[in-house]
Amino acid sequence: MPTLPPPAWLPQLDALSRGGVLQQTPLAAYTSFHIGGPADYLAIINRPEKLLAALNLLHRAEAPFLLLGGGTNILISDAGVSGLVILNQCKTISWPEHSQQNEQTTILVEVDAGAPLAGFARESVNRGLAGLSWAVSIPGSVGGAIIGNAGAHGGDIASALHSVRWWRSGRVETLPARELSLGYRSSRLKSQKTGEEAPIILSAVFRLRPDVDKQAAARAAAAIRHRRRTQPAGKSAGSIFKNPPGDYAGRLIEAAGLKGRCAGAACISEKHANFIINRGGATAADVMTLINLARNEVWKRFGILLEPEILFIGDWRQGPALVDPRR
C-alpha cells in the first residue's frame, strides 16, 4: 500500500502541539482504562490560545478530529482512532478575590476544560469555597465532567455550573448552563463526540459560595473515604452503566452472579460490580465481552436494559461491538 502524503495542516499543528504532533501513537496511555489502539496523529495542547488556534486551523482545512480530556468514562477500540486526536491539557483556573460574606454570596470561578475536576474541587475547598466537595474524588477533566454531567453524593455538575465557553465551526460562544440540557449523566453534548462541527468546550464558569459553616473540607474528606471504601482501585473507566430508575446497576450485575467474571485480562470488580478492571494487558474486546455479558444476563433475569455510561470511541468494525440483548 502506498504511503499517503502528510496532511497540509500538519506543520502548523506541529508548532502548536507540545513536543510536536505524534504519529501512530497508542492512546492507552492517555485513558484511565489504559486501553486503546493508536491514533494516526496525536496533538497534545496545553495552552488555551494554542488550542483555539488549532481548532480554527482544522476548521479552515475541513479536517475532522477527536478531542480528549482526562480519558475517563471512555473505551477506545483496539483498532484505535483514524485521523487526528487532540489531547486537551489546558488547566488554567481564574480564582477571583473575595472576602467571605454569607452563604448566599456567589463566587464565579472560570476554569479551562482540560483541568482535572478533582484537583479543581480540592483547590476550591482549600480556598474556603463550597459547592464542589462532592467532586474531590471524581477523576477526569472538567470538560468531560460537563459532557456527562458527573455527580456523586447528592451533587452534580448541573448544581454548580454557571456557563460554558465553547468553540463551534470557527466561532466562540458563551452559553448559560441551562442550555446544555444537563440530565442524569447526560447533556446535549454527550452524543456529539467527533467531527469539527461538534461544539468543543474551552472553559466553564462555576457558581460557588463561601464556606460559611466550615463544612466543605469535612464533606470532601467524607467523599474520599466513601470512594475508597466502596469503589475498586486499579485501571478502570469508572462506572460502566447508568443506574436504572429505582435501582443500581452494580446490584443487578452482582445479583446476576457476575462479580469476578473475567474475559482475558478484564474482570468485573469483586468490590463493585459496575466497574470493570484492567488487570494488565486487557483489550477493548475483553471489556466489550463483559459489557455484553452483563447486559444480556441482567436483561434475561430482570428484564432491565443496562445503558452504558461510558462512551465508545474509535473503529469498532473489528472485534465485538455493543449488542442489544432485546434482539
Q: Which three cell numbers stand for residue 95?
A: 480564582
If DSSP codes are grouped into helix, strand and coil, which group holds residue 56? helix
Neighbours of 225 (CB within 10 A): 11
Euclidean distance between CA atoms 56 and 45, whole angstroms: 14
Helix or strand run (H / E) with residue 117 = helix 117-126
Q: Per 3-state DSSP, what percentage of the chain is helix, strand, and coil (rounded to 5)? A: 30, 25, 45
Which candidate in 17, 203, 239, 269 is catalytic? 239
* Contact yes or no for 131/209 (Cβ under 8 A): yes
User: Which residue type, as a one-letter code, is found at position 171?
Assistant: R
Q: Which three cell numbers stand for residue 55?
A: 481548532
Which residue's entry shows cell 480519558?
Answer: 71
The verdict on whether 185 is a catalytic residue reads: yes
- Determine the angle formed by the axes of helices 216-230 and 117-126, rounding to 10 degrees: 150
β-sheet bridge partners, residue 264: none
Euclidean distance between CA atoms 104 and 228, whole angstroms: 32
Which candidate in 133, 137, 185, 203 is catalytic? 185
The verdict on whether 309 is a catalytic residue reads: yes
Neighbours of 212 (CB within 10 A): 15
Q: Shortest CA distance to 9 belongs to which of 21, 23, 25?
A: 21
The verdict on whether 239 is a catalytic residue reads: yes
Active site residues: 185, 239, 309
